[in-house]
Amino acid sequence: MTPTTRRTFLRTSAVAGGALLVPAALAARAAAAVPQFAHGVASGDPLPDRVLLWTRVTPTPESTPGSGVGPGVEVRWEVALDAAFADVVSSGAVTTGPERDHTVKVDAGGLAPATAYHYRFLLDGVASATGRTATAPAPDADVDGLKLGLVSCSNWQAGYFSSYRHLAARADLDGVLHVGDYLYEYPVGGYGARGVTIRPHVPAHEMLTLADYRQRHALYKSDPDLQALHAAKPWFITWDDHEYANDAWSDGAENHQPGEGPWSARKAAAHQAYFEWMPVRQGPNGEIYRRFRWGRLAELSLLDLRSYRSKQTTPSQGDPNDPARTITGDPQMAWLKSGLVTDARWKLVGNSVMVTPISLSNIESRFLEALGELLGLPVGSVAANADAWDGYTADRQELLGHLKDNRIGNTVFLTGDIHTSWGADVPLDRSSYWWNGNSAAVEFVTPSVTSDNIDDLLNVPPRSLSPVAEAALAARNWHLKYVELDSHGYSVVDVSRARVQVDWYYLADRLSPTSGVRHAKSLATLSGTQKVSS
């Protein structure tokens, strides 16, 4: 049999043909009085003295996302200590136009550490929604806690973003950590919920050009729950593959075909739209990997595991253990290792793909294909999680060895990508863990906001078959402390001096825009242990 690819496994033809029109909500907004701020406001990358602020303005009806038309305009911005903007502490103006898709991104400085602020944008007497944000504590501040929402894999076509609504309603969060797959590249019918498109993508075809990526970003930011969460908290964000194309690597992607033009052009388009539409800073060479400090309590390193990686292995090509293969690239690995040697108590790593080694050798065939698709494995291969760190073992051993050799404790990987929930010790050597229990770090994996998981891929009722696979995984992988393969939702990461606790919350129904949520599981790692405990 020819191995089934992740693309062909996930893509469907459930939506009937016909022209796809812009959703009614977007059309109504376009017809409204202008100028307007139809895509909300957002903040991100908070530092002790500054924070990034974002919006997108529609100055004229024809200035729609991706159109490349419309006038240049000067948009004012204000940051205040109060919601009425009577006490404005920072303000300015920025020019935007079609060359940047009428997006506005401001690095608002001169702010005080550990302080909450309100912000807004104005054009021709029209004000945007008011956002709320906050700066990070001073680097040497003696901080008691940090609490983050943790999300990943938010596919518009597979349901509603109720996870964002529930996180936005919480008053106890310092921010939101999104570890990748903020949006998806597929065409209408390409990847929905169990083969059914719940909300069709715009544009209707797969994203390829700069205009395509801009329109897709605009669609996602039209979601009211996403807008609410962006307006409520500052975000820390990194990308995974679907911000480009499925299973992307440095020079291509599984979901990029020869007839779709040069990969370099598609990658450049995805990059440009991403940095226009997201409250994310770029490094001097355009890099997205970056680091944030939360007083003496924690330091958060956000990784880019797509831009520099070697091509994924297959059962017939490539060796996961080849030392020449990399998932980080040498400069990013050196940056990561140097940053983990820090006086912060906790070293948090925003990690888009799973670092924990996983063996599938005792999994029944009915689960193997579905698990393989989520883990990036060709059908029939159980040797490595090829799209994650399992496919790049030399880099993983270099990183874990660095933790061991430098006696770096309290390292916590916070991960998404695989649409399921996991809690695990990260062993120095999986084969010997069963008798010596050596662990270099811990990892917590959040489920998907909406994207299909095991029960969806098998098209069975939730919790009907997956417990069998979960038990098999736990029996073969002693370092696993929790695995749940069916539910959608989010996690909350609660950091204190004594421990990092992760709580999983699962939606009642991702297909309902008013879905409820329940708390499902809590796990923690205590300071100094490098172990997961209940």
The 10s digit of each residue's pLDDT in 103-152 is 999 999 999 999 999 999 999 999 999 999 999 999 999 999 999 999 99
Side-chain half-sphere of 79: how many Cα atoms within 13 Å? 26
Q: Would you say residue 156 lies in a domain?
A: yes
State both tokens at 91: 């303000």
pLDDT tens column, 85-96: 999 999 999 999
Residues 102 and 182 in one domain: no
Q: Would you say residue 531 lies in a domain?
A: no
Look up the domain containing 76 and give its range: 33-136
What pLDDT shows up at residue 9? Answer: 35
The DSSP 8-state label assigned to residue 311 in this structure reads: P
Residue by residue, DSSP assigns 398-455 as: HHHHHHHHTT---EEEEE-SSSSEEEEEEES-HHHHHHH--EEEEEEE---SSS--HH
Q: Would you say residue 166 lies in a domain?
A: yes
Q: Would you say residue 416 lies in a domain?
A: yes
Q: H or E segment at 30?
A: helix 24-31
> Is 153 in contact with 183 (CB distance < 8 Å)?
no
Residues near 146 by beta carbon (within 8 Å), at least 6 away in sequence: 174, 294, 297, 298, 493, 494, 495
Residue found under tokens 């831009």 = 307
Of 101, 136, 171, the one marking the end of a domain is 136
If we measure between CA atoms, which residue out of 121, 97, 98, 96 comes closest to residue 108?
A: 121
Q: Would you say residue 221 lies in a domain?
A: yes
Q: Strands 41-44 and 234-237: what pairing?
A: parallel
The rounded distance, in Å, linking the Cα atoms of 300 and 199 is 34
| pTM (predicted TM-score) | 0.92
The rounded distance, in Å, linking the Cα atoms of 230 and 54 is 10
Residues 167 and 100 in one domain: no
Residues 126 and 149 in one domain: no
Arithmetic mean of pLDDT, 474-500: 96
pLDDT tens column, 264-319: 999 999 999 999 999 999 999 999 999 999 999 999 999 999 999 999 998 788 89
Residues 132 and 143 in one domain: no
If we measure between CA atoms, which residue out of 412, 437, 435 comes closest to residue 427?
A: 437
36 versus 436: the higher-pLDDT residue is: 36
Residues 23 and 56 in one domain: no
Q: Strands 499-507 and 489-496: what pairing?
A: antiparallel
Residues near 91 by beta carbon (within 8 Å), at least 6 away in sequence: 76, 77, 78, 79
Q: Would you say residue 1 lies in a domain?
A: no
Of 136, 159, 194, the one marking the end of a domain is 136
- Cβ-count burial 306-345 (b if 16+ within 10 Å, e if not): bbbbbbbbeeeebebeeeebbbbbeebbebbbebbebebb
What's the mean pLDDT when you consider all of the chain?
91
What pLDDT shows up at residue 34? Answer: 64
pLDDT tens column, 235-254: 999 999 999 999 999 999 99
Residues 357 and 425 in one domain: yes
The rounded distance, in Å, linking the Cα atoms of 320 and 467 is 29
Residues 62 and 203 in one domain: no
Helix, coil or strand: residue 289: coil
The rounded distance, in Å, linking the Cα atoms of 491 and 167 is 9
Residues 459 and 337 in one domain: yes
Task: Find the CATH number of the domain harbouring 128.
Answer: 2.60.40.380
Helix, coil or strand: residue 14: coil
The rounded distance, in Å, linking the Cα atoms of 265 and 269 is 6
Residues 123 and 146 in one domain: no
Q: Would you say residue 309 lies in a domain?
A: yes
Q: H or E segment at 6?
A: helix 6-10
Residues 169 and 124 in one domain: no
Q: Would you say residue 204 lies in a domain?
A: yes
Residues 98 and 156 in one domain: no
What pLDDT shows up at residue 417? Answer: 96
- The total of structural domains in the chain comes to 2
Residues 174 and 258 in one domain: yes
The rounded distance, in Å, linking the Cα atoms of 369 and 375 is 10
pLDDT tens column, 319-369: 999 999 999 999 999 999 999 999 999 999 999 999 999 988 778 877 887
Of 136, 151, 173, the one marking the end of a domain is 136
Task: Find the CATH number of the domain harbouring 226.
Answer: 3.60.21.70
What pLDDT shows up at residue 16? Answer: 32
